[in-house]
Structure 1
Amino acid sequence: MQILGFQVQGCGEGMIGKISAIVVDIDGTITDENLRLSLNAIKALRRAEERGYPVILASGNTLPVMYGLRMYLGFSGAIIAENGCVVEYKDRVEVLGRQERAREAMEVLKKMYGARELFTNRWRMAEVGLYASISFQDVQKVAEEFGLKAENTGFAYHISEEGMSKYEALKVAARLMNIEVDSALAIGDGENDLSLLKNLNRSATHSMAPESVKKVAKYVAKARYGDAIEEILRYYGVL
């Protein structure tokens, strides 16, 4: 960035080195509150790509959805799908969890509480998702009975094996991409982003994120939802 005509490093460079990749959540992070893609966010991330920063999409969504989205958005990094259960890079796919127990838990939730599966479950490989139409506490209770974990992304509920997280998946993505995992910048706004926001030296969220997310993010932007992406990238010296 430039200050008084002089080129200076952003707050994200300094003593911890160059950012190796930008890891971004999708829903609420590069969209608006109605899940419509933010054109400002996409423009900013494309400029980051042009400057040599690969963008890694990290979401609770499925690999097929994210694979197409990455292509049309023009990003070059890996994909972290199903909240860290699935990683893809250059058509190599690594499935980090198993779905059998999660499917059993889903059937119990449907019978006991009338839970409704997400349409995208037909493409999921390692977790299951359900609409947030029942109590999350009930979902947690059933998940725990099966030795699983439940996550509330703010848009849906997800059930997967313990130990699955976006941060653990980022380690796999970094190996596939041959980059330093701890040099990545993470941007997210949900409970399922906490592992990234906590563990990376550079992380950020927007002004409408839950307080639990703001507490662990290293930077909280003033802007809302996808409109915060450019502000965050400027703060960290990417733009």
Structure 2
Amino acid sequence: MAISKPLLFHVQRRALPAPTVPQAQAGIIDAPDVPAQMVIPAEAGLQPGDSVRAVMGPLFSQVQQVKPGVQTIIDIPASQLWQLDGQGSAVWAYEVMVNNNWQRSSPIMIAVTTKVNQENWVGESYREMRVGSSATFINSRVTLTFLRTSDLAIVIQNRRLFIGRFSQSRYVFPSSFTTFSGHVANIHNTAPAAHTLNFYDQEGGYIGNLHLPYTGTSSLPFTYSSPTRQRIWRVELIAGAEPIGGGINDTGFHFDDFSWK
């Protein structure tokens, strides 16, 4: 009795050239608030109905089907770019379903990082703000709104921002970030919560706060990093009292700069 040989099945592998990501300059995406696109080259030979997905380090995009006569582009949402922000360089590729198996293309290496932005009011003209008014800084495009005061104004000056005591102000940023820092000067109130920065997400949800330090006549740094890397879009400052008497007559304090990333 002849014994039949077992049938051997071979999964045919396809040559899948590397994708391109136009938003990655020199292998870096530095604006993770803007969705990216993975472009699959025509040389991949995809056929209508093929299932494809993007691979970004540990993350996968949604599976989509190739459409006839249209270049295959996979959208990478900002929500996934935020997860990759600051995690270093990672393998980016695409996968095609072949005989019920995902086959991966040649990879490229991409890092996602939020670039450092700064505001130091260089070139700003002197402006005393009124309650309810707004101003957009010329360099950073951050918008300041003066919400209320029971005492003194907020004053935009060349190279610094004066904050009057007993005031509240809002700062809306053109892009999101997870770390906010800067330098503050002339805070003489020794109370631990005299002046407070509150941080909010894009929907206005509260994230956390930072109490500005006592500085005396010096300029000292401060830094806030959001928990679990939540994205910050808005900052509000509640300025409290500053001492009067004993050789000190403070009407407020100064920010020398902001930076965020």
Normalising TM by the smaller chain, what interval? Answer: under 0.3
Higher strand share: 2
TM-score, length of structure 2 as denominator length? 0.23
Structure with higher Rg: it is 2
Higher helix share: 1
